[in-house]
Amino acid sequence: METERIEISDWGDCFLKVLGILGAHRKDGITEKMLATVLAGVEAPNQTDIIYLEDYPFKPDRKDQQDPVLNELEQKMLNSDVWVLAAPTYWGGLAGKMKDFFDCMRERLVRIDHLGGTHPDRFKDKHYLNITDCYTGAFENWVTGVTDQSFRTIDKVMSAAGVIKLHELVLTNTYGMSELPESKKQTCLEWGKRLNSVRKRDDSTVKRYIELFFMIAFMAFVTMGIQFGFHLVPRQGFWISYLSFVLIFYVLLGSILHFFTVVKHRRR
Ligand SMILES: Cc1cc2nc3c(=O)[nH]c(=O)nc-3n(C[C@H](O)[C@H](O)[C@H](O)COP(=O)(O)O)c2cc1C
């Protein structure tokens, strides 16, 4: 453990460590294949490591004693920059092993205040990519959201820990599947390659929403200015119409963009 920590601090800024975590019943299943393909896209000098949770008999910490297996897993997570979290959807939710892992890690993933509230702590600003799969077909999954709950659970935990989401990958129609379809293999590989250019701190979501606000304010001003100039709208109350339009349009557009880019994105 100590050796690894020295290595990271010596080389910490030169390369990324990408840690794959697999929470599935099968070590050689299709979920593992997606994870392995993503990791295969990571190029030297960046490094990869993989944790198959079934190999780690962790238990919740006790008041008087920390679980040594959790200590080991926590250290691996601290020593890495990007986590690829892969778990199938079981019974419409996140596979139990991954969920149990998050449950046991709760007090390590976040700082808990005196009221029991959670706050990002030592894992803040790391990055993650999540993977899930299901027997359900692509269209049915898109409509009914079979895998939504799995993603939502991971996102909830990561957001509490302040870990930044990069992307999510889903594979449908997995019944009887032993090899990844070529297109999915390429997508996984491409995302693995993209991990090579992750910068250690780059959450620009707030910046993007601020930019969106000013873009809408500018475009609405030009549009309404033209309407006003050509007498296409009543001449009274320009500013109140303008301000209410910008605010309402911004909230609606922001919500729909968030829904399609974050919630529904690629759940097919
Ligand atoms: C216990 C269990 C429960 C599952 N529940 C669902 C489910 O509710 N909906 C679904 O579409 N697929 C379900 N599946 C299929 C898995 O999501 C997954 O796609 C499949 O196990 C392939 O992953 P693997 O090869 O990595 O094991 C389930 C599989 C198992 C073993």
Residue ID of nearest Cα to ligand 1 atom 4: 90
**How many angstroms separate the CA atoms of 19 and 81, rounded?**
8
Half-sphere CA count of 170, side-chain side, radius 13 A: 25
Choose one of 134, 179, 180 to mutate for the ligand 1 pocket test, by most ligand atoms within 8 angstroms of C-beta.
Answer: 134
Say how far residue 109 (Cα) sits from the centre of its chain: 15
Write out pLDDT tens, residues 9-68: 333 456 899 999 999 999 999 999 999 999 999 999 999 999 999 999 999 999 999 999
Name all domains of the chain by residue range, CATH numbers in brackets. 2-195 (3.40.50.360), 205-263 (no CATH)
Q: What is the pLDDT of residue 255?
A: 86
pLDDT for 134-155, tens place per residue? 999 999 999 999 999 999 999 9
174, 175, 184, best to mutate for ligand 1 pocket (most atoms within 8 Å of CB) = 174
Task: Give the Å distance between the CA of 43 and the centre of ligand 1.
Answer: 31
The length of the chain in residues reads 268
What are 69-84's pLDDT values in tens digits?
A: 999 999 999 999 999 9
Quote the ligand 1 centre to 89 CA distance (angstroms). Answer: 5
Predicted TM-score (pTM) of the model is: 0.77
**8 A C-beta contact, residue 102 and residue 87:** no
